[in-house]
């Protein structure tokens, strides 16, 4: 019996790359179960969003094989539509996969496609750019922009080490103001993270109280203008003590505005540098769907 179309979108240069046998094996298993697999390979930035957007609303799902940037593009292409995404993490950090406990094995992926349930989650929008997990304004976006500009293929975690060290030595922290739902949260901020989900890179839980389907974005603001102060707050975040720190402002809302007193500040979403301040954030409540295991608890 035909089970429906499964579009498999593959980013060939994500992270350390995927097992070359994975996609052919996935196609074979899906065909044996009556699905109609369609394999599409991304060729450029933004291609995954276009490929996902072109799939029929009657498709069983879109399988996203790649890193967090690829998953963001796929989900952006499915924004507001009934087709769920099945995430296969093959990137450098795989934050989305860690957040929801997604495994990349053939068995787990096929099981999710065949038996999984579609869980609706929110999607943030940063200046018109949809994102799934987080958006950083300031230091991490500055580093991310350098890494992206020098990218020539798959990115390994080591590619960030040099830019992080060099940036710490020369980065000038800006002064930014943050307004949440029309109320000023802080006007002396050097770094900001807007989170839709709690997990950040390197297992940090910067937006630790964020919930993926509550219709709100969490805002974490570091009041810092020096590298040493920033590092102290980073260490507090590693220990989970930052949200109660006197130099951290925290808020939740559905409409967030960020402006800088020192000119444009870089902005990244889900690990890709995309724009600069001033920027406005909104949220699309439960606007995308992820295929999760039937026993997965509420998001």
299 residues of the chain, pLDDT tens digit each? 457 999 999 998 875 555 789 999 999 999 999 999 999 999 998 999 999 999 999 999 999 999 999 999 999 999 999 999 999 998 878 999 999 999 999 999 999 999 999 999 999 999 999 999 999 999 999 998 887 766 655 555 666 667 778 888 889 999 999 999 999 999 999 999 999 999 998 899 999 999 999 999 999 999 999 999 999 999 999 999 999 999 999 999 999 999 998 899 999 999 889 999 999 999 999 999 999 988 776 55
4-115 domain in CATH 3.40.50.10330? yes
| Cβ neighbours for 216, distance < 8 A, ≥ 6 positions apart | 122, 252, 253, 254, 283
- The whole-number pLDDT of residue 1 equals 47
- The whole-number pLDDT of residue 277 equals 97
| Element holding 207 (H helix, E strand) | none
The runs of H, that is alpha helices, within the chain are 22-32, 47-53, 68-77, 95-100, 106-115, 139-149, 161-170, 227-238
One CATH from 3.40.50.11930, 3.40.50.300, 2.60.200.40, 3.30.1360.200 for 129-285 = 2.60.200.40
- The whole-number pLDDT of residue 19 equals 72
Backbone angles phi, psi at 221, to 5 degrees: -115, 120
CA distance 49 to 71: 9
Domain coordinates in residue numbering, the chain: 4-115, 129-285
CA distance 237 to 258: 22
SS3 274: strand
| CB of 95 closer than 8 Å to CB of 40 | no
């Amino acid at each position: 019996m035909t089970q429906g179309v499964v579009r498999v979108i593959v980013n060939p240069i994500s992270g350390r790359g995927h097992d070359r046998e994975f996609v052919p094996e996935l196609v074979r298993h899906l065909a044996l179960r009556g699905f109609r697999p369609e394999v599409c390979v991304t060729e450029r930035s933004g291609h995954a969003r276009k490929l996902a957007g072109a799939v029929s609303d009657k498709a069983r799902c879109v399988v996203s094989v790649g890193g967090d940037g690829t998953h963001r593009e796929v989900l952006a292409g499915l924004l507001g539509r009934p087709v769920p995404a099945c995430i296969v993490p093959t990137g450098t950090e795989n934050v989305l996969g860690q957040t929801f406990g997604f495994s990349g094995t053939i068995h787990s992926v096929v099981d999710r496609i065949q038996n999984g349930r579609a869980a609706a989650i929110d999607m943030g929008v940063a200046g018109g750019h949809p994102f799934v997990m987080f958006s950083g304004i300031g230091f991490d976006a500055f580093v991310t922009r350098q890494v992206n500009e020098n990218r020539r293929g798959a990115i390994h975690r080591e590619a960030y080490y040099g830019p992080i060290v060099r940036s710490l030595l020369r980065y000038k922290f800006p002064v930014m103001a943050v307004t949440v739902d029309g109320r000023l949260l802080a006007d002396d901020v050097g770094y900001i993270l807007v989170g839709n989900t709690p997990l950040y890179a390197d297992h940090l839980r910067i937006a630790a109280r964020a919930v993926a389907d509550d219709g709100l974005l969490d805002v974490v603001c570091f009041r810092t203008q020096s590298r040493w102060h920033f590092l102290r707050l980073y260490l507090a975040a590693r220990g989970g003590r930052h949200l109660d720190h006197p130099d951290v402002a925290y808020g939740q809302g559905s409409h967030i505005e960020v402006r800088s007193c020192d000119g444009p500040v870089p902005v990244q979403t889900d690990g890709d540098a995309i724009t600069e301040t001033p920027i406005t954030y909104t949220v699309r409540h439960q606007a995308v769907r992820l295929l999760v295991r039937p026993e997965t608890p509420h998001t």
